[in-house]
Copies of this chain bind each other. A is one copy, B any other.
Amino acid sequence: MRDVYILGVGMTKFGKFPEMTITDIARRAFLNAVKDSGINPKAIEVAFIGHVRQPGQGAMVGQRIMRDAGITGIPILNVENICSSGSSAVWCAFSFISSGQFDLAAVIGVEQLSVLGKGIIPPRQEDLEGLQGMVLPSYFAMVARRHMYEYGTTIEQLAKVSIKNHKNGCLNPYAQFQKEITFEEISHSPMVADPLTVLHCCPTGDGAAAAIICSKDVVMKYNVKPIRIAASVLKSGSYDGGWRDLTTNDQTIRTAREAYEISGIGPEDLDLIELHDCFSIAEIFHYENLGLCKKGEGGRLMDEGKTELNGKIPVNPSGGLLAKGHPLGATGVAQMVEVVWQLRGEAGKRQIPDARVGLTHCVGGVVDGLDLGACTVHILKRE
């Protein structure tokens, strides 16, 4: 298998853009990535587009994006893995380039949720748990309560995650929220699912992110700082991971373990992480699932400030899902955009000095009350 590189990246600001179409949003991110990479877009050999596709947005979103950008004829594949749709598209591109089948691929993640109104992802008819209230906020509220019970994690520690990520978001012009929040504001914001108020939850929104991914031969032709994808792993959840222990995310543990093995890079080697903080408790327990600390110590890691922008291992410098936003299909690619900018030293006010290795983690979906979605972990390295 061949080495795989990211040649260029781009994204849109995340926010609410109901007056645009999903293809308009995606095209902007794609053209930013094309410009950043310096390629002639006609050189793109294959494209993978990750999106969950909302009602009314039609099929073949990827073909329409590419057509609007003047690219036709090549293989184009739309992929959907709920919140991991974009990062699953990266996994595809990685695999096809790694295997030598293609040399230059475009990846786009996009979503437009603002067109949907309230109750945007209603449970399906046969999702008995969901229909009785076991939707994602209540699931993560239970995770939070159990983590508090088992490990003494406090609501203050959870709130610190939101405070940190919103603080980081202020430094990111692409973030949906660019305003610091206080513990009082978090506590007094509307309750969603006890103990999670709305400021413990990521927002819904719109946005897109894109990456141009290529072989070593291609990257060497361009005057860029090569960013290598040292590992690209996709896994699904298992029966073991869901109910047996709510405070553990089994699919993250297994996916990260394989990414560490493949790359020879461990959690101690990482200079930054973009992880899936869909709720404040998610960031806490993913510290543990990703091996940044022992099980139960996620809250303490937050207390110690180690994951702050100036800490030992900054987590979600972009603002994460909580502040940068979470347009489902866009998120996984946007995480890679942030890491690429950080590894290149182009992250502006939120730059982590001399960052060389970063990890992105995207995990999607509780299926019928079971943790059976899709999880991706990517490790990026400046060469």
B66 lies within 8 A of A236 (CB): yes
| A77 interface residue (CB < 8 Å to B) | yes
A63 lies within 8 A of B374 (CB): yes
B56 lies within 8 A of A125 (CB): yes
| A78 interface residue (CB < 8 Å to B) | yes
Query: Which 10 A-B pairs give the minimum distances between C-beta atoms?
Result: A99-B99, A72-B238, A75-B234, A78-B80, A73-B238, A59-B82, A58-B124, A76-B236, A55-B55, A67-B372
- Using a CB-CB cutoff of 8 Å, which residues 1-40 of chain A contact chain B? 1, 21, 23
Chain B positions within 8 Å of A298 at CB level: none
| A248 interface residue (CB < 8 Å to B) | no
- Using a CB-CB cutoff of 8 Å, which residues 106-150 of chain A contact chain B? 124-127
- Using a CB-CB cutoff of 8 Å, which residues 238-283 of chain A contact chain B? 238-239, 251, 254
Task: Give the docked Cα–Cα distance between A21 and B365 (Å).
Answer: 19
Task: Give the docked Cα–Cα distance between A92 and B77 (Å).
Answer: 9
Copies of this chain held together in the complex: 2
Chain B positions within 8 Å of A74 at CB level: 235-236
> Min CB distance, A105 to chain B, in Å?
12
| A88 interface residue (CB < 8 Å to B) | yes
Known: A99-B101, A101-B99. Is A373-B75 also a contact (CB below 8 A)? no
A53 lies within 8 A of B56 (CB): no
| A79 interface residue (CB < 8 Å to B) | yes
Chain B positions within 8 Å of A254 at CB level: 73
Chain B positions within 8 Å of A238 at CB level: 72-73
| A358 interface residue (CB < 8 Å to B) | no
Partner of A53, one of B53, B236, B251: B53
| A100 interface residue (CB < 8 Å to B) | yes
What number of A residues sit within 8 Å (CB to CB) of B?
A: 55
With A60-B374, A75-B236 given, can you name 10 additional A-B contacts, CB distance below 8 Å?
A21-B125, A53-B53, A59-B82, A59-B365, A60-B372, A63-B373, A77-B81, A78-B79, A78-B81, A95-B96
A77 lies within 8 A of B73 (CB): no
| A344 interface residue (CB < 8 Å to B) | no
Task: Map CB proximity to B onto A78-90 as digits: 1 under 8 Å, 0 otherwise.
Answer: 1111100000100
* Nearest residue, chain B, Cβ from A233: B75
Task: Give the docked Cα–Cα distance between A202 and B52 (Å).
Answer: 28
| A370 interface residue (CB < 8 Å to B) | yes
| A364 interface residue (CB < 8 Å to B) | yes
Known: A96-B95, A236-B73, A237-B72. Is A82-B60 also a contact (CB below 8 A)? yes
